[in-house]
Chain A
């Protein structure tokens, strides 16, 4: 389902390094962040920044794309029996990210990964979706900041599955009043795989050199 399109000024994003190895997350909600460390997304090509690269414990928010699409290091072939090429071919994904609003929640999305959102009514599996409320787009060299929305930017996604969250036990109890209720609850959700981010190129941007 397409949300209403809105115009926004493009913004400048820092670089996005997609080397994060991420375990699949149930919800795109920031779990206790102290236990999660992630490499900085973008590394500026010309500037040197002081931030340290933390050996990646993958952030739990973002999900991993299919195994062959993850950037793999070249595997040196030492066995003489195999005649394959020395490096595994990995399709290059454009290094860009966007902040998108779905169901009045904001998510940071990358192409090729999936997110869990609130249940989208009337959607079925393998539906193509265009999300128009894009608040910020970031590439390796520039950021497009929306006021409030980046004009003409669109995030393309495919609905993968309409499922339910993990069961939560809602237990209500009042002492000395003989009141207790034990209720289970599973919130419906939708898993969406992001396929691409387009339409931000013409918007005003903040580029690396101007910072």
Chain B
């Protein structure tokens, strides 16, 4: 690609990489390679994030993520993790209904650890 396009893609780069064509061209190529790789990584990262959120949402109701998903699979509920994480954030009541369904289907083990409650310690001035 010609220099104008390279400089357009090199906006915001550090130091000479945004001004000098020899350095900018290398950095832009590297950036495009990273974006190719990260379009695939983004899917993995998002799924991991959704799972963390679902885990947090279910642990409020004393169920951990593994047992929750097992219960949903048993009940043949086919909501995916993206939608489940959205529900856990913005639809707490719907999410609680899902947790109850899952708990009835698969009681699971009883060793669910809740997050430690933050206790405010009074500061002596």
Could you give, for residues 64-85 of chain B, a 1 whenever the CB lies within 8 Å of some chain A CB and a 0 otherwise?
0000000000011111101101
**A154 interface residue per 8 A CB criterion:** no
Closest chain A residue to B78, Cβ basis: A148
Chain B residues whose C-beta falls within 8 Å of the C-beta of A30 in the assembled complex: 46, 50, 82, 85-86
Whether the Cβ atoms of B29 and A173 lie closer than 8 Å is yes
Q: Identify whether the interface residues of B are mostly helix, strand, loop, or mixed.
A: helix
Chain A residues whose C-beta falls within 8 Å of the C-beta of B32 in the assembled complex: 169, 171, 173
- Closest chain-A Cβ to B30's Cβ sits at a distance in Å of 9
Number of A-B pairs, beta carbon distance below 8 Å: 99
Closest chain B residue to A104, Cβ basis: B80
A206 to B97, CA, bound (A): 7
Contact of A135 among B79, B82, B100 (CB under 8 A): B79
Interface size on A, residues (CB 8 A): 38
Whether the Cβ atoms of B75 and A211 lie closer than 8 Å is no
Could you give, for residues 1-44 of chain A, a 1 whenever the CB lies within 8 Å of some chain B CB and a 0 otherwise?
00000000001111110000000000000100100001111101
Whether the Cβ atoms of A138 and B94 lie closer than 8 Å is yes
Of the A-B pairs whose beta carbons lie under 8 Å apart in the complex, a sample of 19, sorted by A's number, is: A13-B93, A40-B89, A42-B91, A99-B79, A106-B83, A108-B86, A136-B79, A143-B93, A145-B94, A145-B98, A145-B101, A168-B39, A169-B32, A170-B36, A171-B29, A180-B29, A206-B100, A208-B93, A211-B96
**B92 interface residue per 8 A CB criterion:** yes
Q: Which residues of A pack against B, CB within 8 Å?
A: 11-16, 30, 33, 38-42, 44, 49, 51, 99, 106, 108, 135-136, 138, 143, 145-148, 168-173, 180, 182, 206, 208, 211
Chain B residues whose C-beta falls within 8 Å of the C-beta of A49 in the assembled complex: 92-93
A169 to B92, CA, bound (A): 40
